[in-house]
Each structure stands twice: as structure tokens, then as C-alpha cells.
């Protein structure tokens, strides 16, 4: 079986590099997703510009991207967060179906904005697609 680019990138990573990258990603999650600071914690001699570039390259690596995805999924599970729950809560705020006594207009607008972004409304796209079948029939009377 031939090697794919992703297999080669992952195969070429040493365990030491993977461990260091995992530490950087963990720090990135803890510090509020500030990549250069997470990188500088483990490479303290790197300046801000270099740390930003190296961190960006590291995050593009398929192995690191997979690790980040796993961390995100773990956090969602730990906090009992699902897309359905988030959308229900946003809908409740946006449309006034909440147990809270006061929902300010700015909160409703923000909830509507987030729902709009989720469904790609207003950008010429919709989250769902409809298919229409069109039959073209020639009228024989016009051919003569």
C-alpha cells in the first residue's frame, strides 16, 4: 500500500515531537487560544513573529489537527454541550422562550445573529438545498 502525504507526515513525527506539540496544544486551550504564547512557553527563545508562524504551521499538520479535534470533542462531552442544545438555547433567547425574566434586545439580536451565521442566511446560501426536477417538452405546433 503506497504512503499518502498524511501518513508520511505522521510517520516522520517522533514521539518527542508529538509530546511537545501536545503540550503546546494543551497550553493553547488553557490560555484562551493564543497560539504564539503557547508556543513560547515551550520554546522561550522564539520571538512573537517566529512563534506565530511556527504555531500556525504546526496547527496545519494533520496529526496536530486531529489532536485538536479530539480535545474539542472531549471538552464538549465534559461540559454536556451539543449543537442541538446550543441551537435550542439560542432559539429560546432569540424568540423569547426562556425561563429568565428579562431578555434584553441586544441579547436577542446577538442570538439571532449567531443563528443566522449557523444557517448561512443572508449570504446567498442556505444550510439546506432543494432539488427541483424540470422536464422540457417541445410543443409540436411551434415546429411547423
Which is nearest to 33 in space by CA: 11, 18, 55, 53?
55
Determine the structural domain holding residue 68 and report its residue range: 10-78
* Residue 37 shares a structural domain with residue 15: yes
pLDDT in tens, 36-54: 999 999 999 999 999 999 9
* Residue 24 shares a structural domain with residue 71: yes
Q: What's this model's pTM, rounded to 2 decimal places?
A: 0.57
Residue 131 in any domain: the answer is: no
- Assigned C-alpha cell, 55: 504555531
Q: How many domains does the chain have?
A: 2
**Is residue 77 scored above 60 in pLDDT?**
yes
Is residue 51 a contact partner of residue 43, using CB atoms and an 8 Å limit? Answer: yes
pLDDT in tens, 83-131: 787 778 778 777 776 666 677 778 878 887 877 776 665 555 444 454 5
* Residue 94 shares a structural domain with residue 65: no
**Is residue 5 scored above 80 in pLDDT?**
no
* Residue 92 shares a structural domain with residue 73: no
Taking the C-alpha atoms of residue 63 and residue 20, their distance in angstroms, rounded to an integer, is 13
Amino acid at each position: 500500500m503506497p504512503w499518502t502525504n498524511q501518513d508520511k507526515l505522521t510517520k516522520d513525527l517522533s514521539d518527542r515531537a508529538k509530546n511537545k506539540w501536545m503540550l503546546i496544544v494543551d497550553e493553547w486551550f488553557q490560555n484562551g487560544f493564543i497560539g504564539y504564547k503557547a508556543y513560547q512557553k515551550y520554546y522561550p527563545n522564539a520571538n512573537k513573529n517566529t512563534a506565530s508562524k511556527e504555531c500556525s504551521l504546526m496547527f496545519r499538520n494533520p496529526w496536530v489537527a486531529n489532536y485538536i479535534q479530539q480535545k474539542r470533542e472531549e471538552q464538549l462531552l465534559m461540559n454536556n454541550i451539543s449543537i442541538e442544545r446550543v441551537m435550542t438555547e439560542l432559539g429560546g433567547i432569540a424568540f423569547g422562550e426562556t425561563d429568565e425574566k428579562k431578555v434584553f434586545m441586544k441579547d436577542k439580536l446577538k442570538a439571532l445573529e449567531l443563528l443566522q451565521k449557523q444557517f448561512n442566511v443572508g449570504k446567498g446560501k442556505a444550510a439546506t438545498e432543494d432539488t427541483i426536477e424540470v422536464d422540457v417538452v417541445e410543443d409540436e405546433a411551434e415546429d411547423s
